[in-house]
Structure 1
Amino acid sequence: MKKIRIIGVPEHFNLPWHMAIEEGAFSECGIDLQWTHIPEGTGRMGKMLANEETDLAIILTEGIIKSITEGNSSKIVQEYIGSPLLWGIHVAANSNFTDVQELMAGKAAISRYGSGSHLMAYVNAQSEGWNTGSLDFEIINDLNGAVNGLTNGQADYFMWEHFTTKPLVDNGTFRRLGDCPTPWPCFMIVATDAFLSENSAVLRNILGVINRYTMEFKHIPSIDRTLANRYGQKPEDIQEWLGLTQWSQQQMTAVTLRKVQETLLELGLITTKLPADKILAHL
């Protein structure tokens, strides 16, 4: 049995991986796929890839592309979620802010620098017409840290996936002032170069399994109830999320990659663009 390490956030997007692991689909291929939840998100996962503390990661597009341009020896092997991610813009329930525009001079809570919550604060600022050079940040590590940070006034707003934070909006911890979708497919499957160089056949088997699961995922009977129960969500929210979300079984296109890099460059978040073959793997 070939032991493979994989990491991802503990969110509903990744249920197909857990179902495939639990049902023995990888084991049937001789693969012991060992999943580790990383609640801190993309910033930490990028470092784990760079340090070869994992073989694979399910990670946000903008974060991993930034990390690779900065020297992370990893490559995107395939899109995982081909639709945009809907980032909710949240404030504490007792906050005086009532409109996204009021946050222009506010401090954003972020899990860490290079994370999705960090990079999307720039994307949102650009879309709102703010001066992106004046953004201010407070590192809060994870969602629990955001709850404490916003409640205690350490930061003013926090961007996180709309449906993951919906229970905190429903229970009165947060108020959501708006949403900001990513301008590109949101989650990628990424492998370290070291893993790719020796395990391309194994990786093709892994992709074959997960692609079968994601192609059939929405057609699983009562999958909305399964997701709602497993992730503490309301069925109607899960149904809305399923309607917005598309899993992908294809590699990212060079056109999409160029759009991401040009946006990050324009925002001053990367200093150089790399050719596609330095970021995208071809198995």
Structure 2
Amino acid sequence: MKTVKIGGVPEHFNLAWYLTLKNGEYKSQDINLRWQDYPGGTGAMCKALRENEIDIAVILTEGIIKDIIDGNPSKIVQVFVKSPLNWGIHVAHKSGYKSLNDLKGTKAAISRYGSGSHLMAYINAKNNGWNLDKDLNFEVIKDLDGAVEGLTNGKADYFMWEKFTTKPLVDDGVFRNIGNCPSPWPCFVIAVRQDFIDNQQETLKTILDIINNTTKDFKDIPSIDRTIANRYNQKIKDVQEWLSITEWSQKNITKKVISNTQKELFALNIIPKVVDYNDLVYKL
């Protein structure tokens, strides 16, 4: 049996992986797929891909594009979620910040440099007409638990994370949501180390076939809203709203999306250059 290591965030987007693992669908194809949660998000997964800790990552589009350009020996093989990620902009519940303008020049909590929370802070700053050199400051907090601590004790002033993942913290009076910032690209892609692509292509195709078969009809799974609500501590109405705006994909990322994403990242000085489509993407 072939052992394959995969990583992703412990969020509702990845429930399809949990369901296919629980059903033994990979083992029936002689694949021992080992899932690893990465609460630290994209930056932590980029590091894990580089250090051969995982073979595959379900990862934010902007983060993996930046890291491949920076030397990560991996390629995007498919879009996983094609809808944008709805980033909530959060402050501590008792903070004095009321609007996005109040956050200009303050300190953003980020999971790590190169992470989605870091890169999207630039998108939010650009959207609000801030000076990218003077109005952005950062505090590394590793993960959501670190953000709770950092915002509560004043180490950082605001934190950007997926709106529905953080909603229970808003409901509990830990955070206050003062705005949202959708990503201008599909949110999650599947990235794979190049040496795994070279040596295990049939295994990779089988894994993708299994997960795609589930995501294709994911919204039609009976009581899927209740399953998500129970597993991820969400309210049913929030889950239903999330399901209504989220679309999975079974196709690879297009040249147009790669081009537009790179242009945006380059304009913000997040990437040092724009590279060829084939430097970032592998077509199986």
Structure 1: state its 5+ residue gaps: none
For residues 112-191 of structure 1, what are the structure 2 equivalents within 5 Å?
Answer: 112-134=112-134, 135-191=136-192
Q: Distance in 2 between matches of 1:257 and 1:72?
A: 17
Q: Distance in 2 between matches of 1:103 and 1:144?
A: 21
Q: Distance in 1 between matches of 2:26 and 2:131?
A: 48
SS in 2 for 1:97: coil
Alignment-derived partner of residue 258 in structure 1: 259
Q: Distance in 1 between matches of 2:73 and 2:106?
A: 35
SS in 2 for 1:141: coil
Q: Distance in 2 between matches of 1:207 and 1:200?
A: 11
Q: Distance in 2 between matches of 1:216 and 1:30?
A: 24
Structure 2: state its 5+ residue gaps: none
CA-based RMSD of the aligned residues comes to 0.5
Q: Distance in 1 between matches of 2:241 and 2:272?
A: 38
Q: Distance in 2 between matches of 1:222 and 1:239?
A: 11
Q: Distance in 1 between matches of 2:101 and 2:246?
A: 28
* Residue identity (%): 54
Alignment-derived partner of residue 93 in structure 1: 93
SS in 2 for 1:194: helix
SS in 1 for 2:165: coil
Q: Distance in 1 between matches of 2:223 and 2:51?
A: 40
Alignment-derived partner of residue 248 in structure 1: 249
Q: Distance in 1 between matches of 2:108 and 2:33?
A: 36
TM-score (structure 1 length as normaliser): 0.99
2:214 pairs with 1:213: yes
Q: Distance in 2 between matches of 1:136 and 1:225?
A: 39
Deviates more, 1:82-91 or 1:20-29: 20-29
Alignment-derived partner of residue 36 in structure 1: 36
SS in 1 for 2:59: strand
Q: Distance in 1 between matches of 2:231 and 2:47?
A: 28
Aligned residues: 283
Q: Distance in 2 between matches of 1:17 and 1:255?
A: 28
Alignment-derived partner of residue 7 in structure 1: 7
